A and B are shown apart, each in its own frame.
Chain A
Amino acid sequence: MNDQVTLMKGNEALAMAAIRYGADGYFGYPITPQSEVLEKLEEEMPWETTGMVVLQAESEVAAINMVYAGASCGKAVFTSTSSPGFSLMQEGMSYMCASEVPALVINVMRGGPGLGTIHPSQADYFQACKGGGHGDYHPIVLAPASVQEMADFVALGWDLAFKYRCVSLILADGLVGQMMEKVVLPEQRPRRTEEQIREQCPWAVMGRKDMRPKNIITSLELDDDKMEANNHRFQATYREIEKNEVRYELVDTDDCDYLMVAFGSMARIAMKTMEMAREEGIKVGLVRPITLWPFPSQIIAEVAQHVKGILVPELAAGQMIEDVKLAVECKLPVAHFDRLGGNVPTPDEMLKALKEKLINA
């Protein structure tokens, strides 16, 4: 057996993958169900090996601003939190996007609104994909459905963030965070040297070495025309991301009569539902969005051409379904199925909903 294969929680995989990526720093605040990220990092003591900084901040507000600073210095920095903490981080998300700095943020969602529960939810979809903070901005939103993807999306998230100078957001949920699965961790990469960062990120705030022109990272621009130009630049980046970075997985979509669109842990439950449906002779396929923004609208529209209807199961009261309806321009029935507040459906429940809301509707 490969020595790199191991069994760990999704949250632990996030921490380990970050160390292996050559991360420069983590700043976070404990909140269930993602506290294992910080716990694992403190246990691993990467400051002794790679030199990575790990700091338990005084709040999520402080944590996101520490990440904002680290990203502004061209460093590979990240934070992780869960829904209530993510709400506190929205200001920082907006500032980081406005400042065009490459950061990685992780939200392991729990049931809300308010303090809510500590159990899995997907009800931060709007907050993640449609803003959440003020102004016109988008992070790239990655939705892992397995512990392996928790590990893989750390590297992917950072690579994309540095490529586009944008924020990458891993939008997981309590189930993927707490579950243990087999995972193959990447090889350890060295942290970038200051020289490498200066070369890769000439905009980074690292001091005026050799008295190069000064670098300023700011989201402030009081001249309306210049701020409009900034906005146009952000939007141009977003169009580029939409063109290049849409990711999804297709399961049994070639011959399906019905389609489900689900992400994260709901996609896993949907796959079991599909197995059960096939046993009864009902052919159901799945489009699993891996990027929630940019949303895989085109492939959904393509698959929708040969199905009778779509079911969108969410741990939310109808959020992603809006994007699915837009994708298919409401040309066919799009039904919704949810469990809320931290409850997770069983495959049985989902199959029942599929029949009631779609097949026999």
Chain B
Amino acid sequence: MENNDIIKIENRVYKKPSLLNDSHMHYCPGCSHGVVHKLVAEVIEELGLQEKAIGVSPVGCAVFAYNYIDIDWLEAAHGRATAMATAAKRLMPDKLVFTYQGDGDFAAIGTCESIHSCNRGESIAIIFINNAIYGMTGGQMAPTTLLGQKTATCPYGRRADLNGYPLSITPLLAQLDGTRYVTRQSVHTPANVRKTKAAIKKAFQNSMEGKGTSVVEVVSTCNTGWKLSPEKANQWMVDNMFAKYPLGDLKNVDAEKKD
């Protein structure tokens, strides 16, 4: 059988979500952003929210998220995405409003807005990509950089006495009364991708239903910043990141209610 005989519409087993356009992504090969972008686009489509979705993109590698996913977007100043999302959702409660932020944006410069938006219980979804490094600016230390991890601004490895400890912000947010659903996922295997997709879907549904804040942390790789091949980066993440940032639901008010 020739390839052309196989490549037919009736044989299709996978389709790119139509909201994900054909722009050439600026992400490095192996980066987790591409997968998470696809999931966001897929979930919006599956929930039928194409006309209601408003994304808030960060400063960081995902700054151009608006170029790839064909919905309406706000581009925030560094760290202020959840403040912008707060206003957008309050002014238009019938819309899906979500932020897409990295560790520097969400857990360093934006910590104040992140915590207060969650604490107010804004009905927004937060997708938080934690790859323990500043990718866009060229591999500097992030608040989530692990002890001993080398970056451009801790070239001999992060030291607690010099740089403080890695910040695990999500469990902190889970303690706030305003959060409805807080989970930590990854996208390094197909099974994990499916779990992350389910988490994003739940977070988006919570936003639409006005149920409070949902946080989906995605523990991710930055093979370029980590100076590893994509495959080795995945392994490094499993071996090192998961100990500090273990996967799973940290808070799920709806599940607790069912129990």
A-side residues, CB < 8 A to B, are 24-25, 27, 53, 55, 57-59, 61-63, 65-70, 72-73, 75, 77, 91-92, 95, 194, 205-211, 214-220
Contact = CB atoms under 8 A, between A and B. Distances in A.
A73 B91 contact: yes
Which of B53, B57, B73, B90 has the most C-beta atoms of chain A within 10 angstroms of its own C-beta? B90
Contact of B91 (A24, A62, A92, A209): A24
Interface of B: 50-54, 56-57, 63, 66, 70-77, 80, 83-88, 90-92, 95, 112-113, 116
A78 to B, nearest CB: 12
List 4 A-B pairs, minimum CB-CB distance, nearest first: A218-B75, A69-B84, A66-B87, A65-B80
A69 B87 contact: yes
Which of B52, B63, B85, B88 is packed against the most chain A CB atoms within 10 Å? B88
The residue among B56, B86, B112 with the most chain A CB atoms within 10 A of its own CB is B86
Contact of B73 (A66, A68, A214, A219): A214
Among A59, A65, A214, A217: residue with most chain B CB under 10 A: A65
Contact of B92 (A61, A65, A73, A208): A73
A218 B66 contact: yes
B76 A65 contact: yes
Given A206-B95, A207-B54, A215 B72 contact: yes
Contacts of A211: 50-51
B91 A205 contact: no
B77 A207 contact: no
A75 B87 CA distance: 10
A91 B77 contact: yes
Nearest to A99: B75
B112 A205 contact: no
25 contacts: A58-B113, A61-B83, A62-B112, A65-B77, A65-B80, A65-B83, A66-B86, A69-B83, A69-B87, A69-B88, A69-B91, A205-B54, A205-B73, A207-B51, A207-B52, A208-B51, A208-B72, A211-B50, A214-B73, A216-B72, A216-B73, A216-B74, A217-B73, A218-B57, A218-B75
Given A58-B116, A61-B112, A73-B91, A66 B83 contact: yes
Given A62-B80, A65-B76, A217-B73, A210 B90 contact: no
A70 B75 contact: no
A220 B66 CA distance: 11
A67 B83 CA distance: 9
Given A25-B87, A61-B112, A62-B113, 18 more contacts: A62-B80, A63-B83, A69-B56, A69-B83, A69-B85, A72-B84, A72-B88, A91-B77, A194-B92, A205-B74, A205-B88, A206-B92, A209-B51, A214-B70, A216-B72, A217-B74, A218-B73, A218-B74
Chain A CB within 10 A, most for which of B80, B86, B91: B91
A38 to B, nearest CB: 15
Nearest to A219: B75
B77 to A, nearest CB: 5
Contacts of B75: 216-220
Given A65-B77, A216-B72, A217-B73, A210 B51 contact: yes
Contacts of B95: 206-207
A67 B76 CA distance: 12
B84 A66 contact: yes
B245 to A, nearest CB: 26
A47 to B, nearest CB: 10
Contacts of B86: 55, 62, 66, 69
B230 to A, nearest CB: 26
